[in-house]
Amino acid sequence: MPEKFQVVPLRAFKDNYVWTLRNGACAAVVDPGEAQPVLDYLAAEKLQLIAILATHHHQDHVGGIAELLQTHKVPVYGPRGEPIATLTQAVGGGDKVSLEQLGVSFEVLDIPGHTRAHVAYYGANMLFCGDTLFACGCGRAFEGTPQQLYASLEKLMALPGRNARLLRARVHAGEHRLRQGGGAGQRGAARARGERRAVCGATTDPTLPSTIGREKATNPFRARHAARGHRLGQQISRQARVSDPAGGVRRAAAVEERYPESPASSPSRCGLAR
């Protein structure tokens, strides 16, 4: 019987994580946008890479795969219908990915919106959801529609297991701003940011991941907060008119683009990620 595995986050680029599932002998990685952190970790820990899982085709999630394959001939799982040249095992909703050496298997979920065929991996009380759902945020709809993205968020929120860990693909917790209309402007954005930090926590420490239950209760991109009287949910719902929950995602994204975290931030910052 395989020994119990651990999940270790490896930092890549400025604000990404490569999640590494490992035991004493082998490891699998999720969304390796950069190869060197993975190679360094494998060498330092004397681990054998056994598999690579990708949630979507953006380069900050798959850019390191080709280099990893130069020295590790392993299967690469990822969404069918997306342009990932290094893919060897195309998967979609309802498929299973079994990592026998680690004693774990994952259900594949279709969660389009951020990209047209984005997938998540759910199992062992963990959710690897790429750039769709963040702690107190969500991804930007680059290739899909706001309606698709909202439906995908609702699918993730409906998963069983309130304590299932949300292992997001980048640093993001309470860091994005929403304008509160009228003359409040930047002051309103600052208040919203402070409130969100109080609710969701301002930490970017990956050893403290969010959970599905926490996001169901606090994620402001869910218009249902308005029905429960949550102040941040009310803010979203006022912009989305409540009757159009997908509009909350769309309008919030527009506000994010207009009021970025700082002039120097990349367009992927503030929970609307690439």
Give span(s): CATH 3.60.15.10, the chain: 1-171+209-218
Question: Which range has the top average pLDDT, 165-169, 206-210, 211-215?
Answer: 211-215
Confidence of residue 245 (pLDDT cuts 50, 70, 90): low
Angstrom CA distances, 9 to 122, 141, 167, stand at 17, 25, 9
More confident: 182 or 55? 55
pLDDT, residue 216, reads 84
pLDDT, residue 169, reads 65
Tell the residue number behind the tokens 């989305």, with chain if given: 240
pLDDT, residue 251, reads 53
Decide if 157 contacts 150 (C-beta within 8 A).
no
Query: Which tens digit of pLDDT belongs to each residue from 143-178?
Result: 998 899 999 999 999 998 788 988 866 655 443 433
More confident: 67 or 178? 67
Angstrom CA distances, 110 to 64, 222, 272, stand at 23, 19, 19
**Residue 193, pLDDT above cutoff 90:** no
The CATH architecture assigned to 1-171+209-218 reads 4-Layer Sandwich (3.60)
pLDDT, residue 205, reads 55
More confident: 162 or 83? 83
Confidence of residue 3 (pLDDT cuts 50, 70, 90): low
Residue 44 corresponds to which tokens in the numbers above? 């330092």
Query: Which tens digit of pLDDT belongs to each residue from 11-25?
Result: 888 778 899 999 999
Return the amino acid letter for 156.
Answer: L
**Residue 256, pLDDT above cutoff 60:** no
Rounded to two decimals, what is the model's pTM?
0.75
Question: Which range has the top average pLDDT, 76-85, 154-163, 254-263?
Answer: 76-85
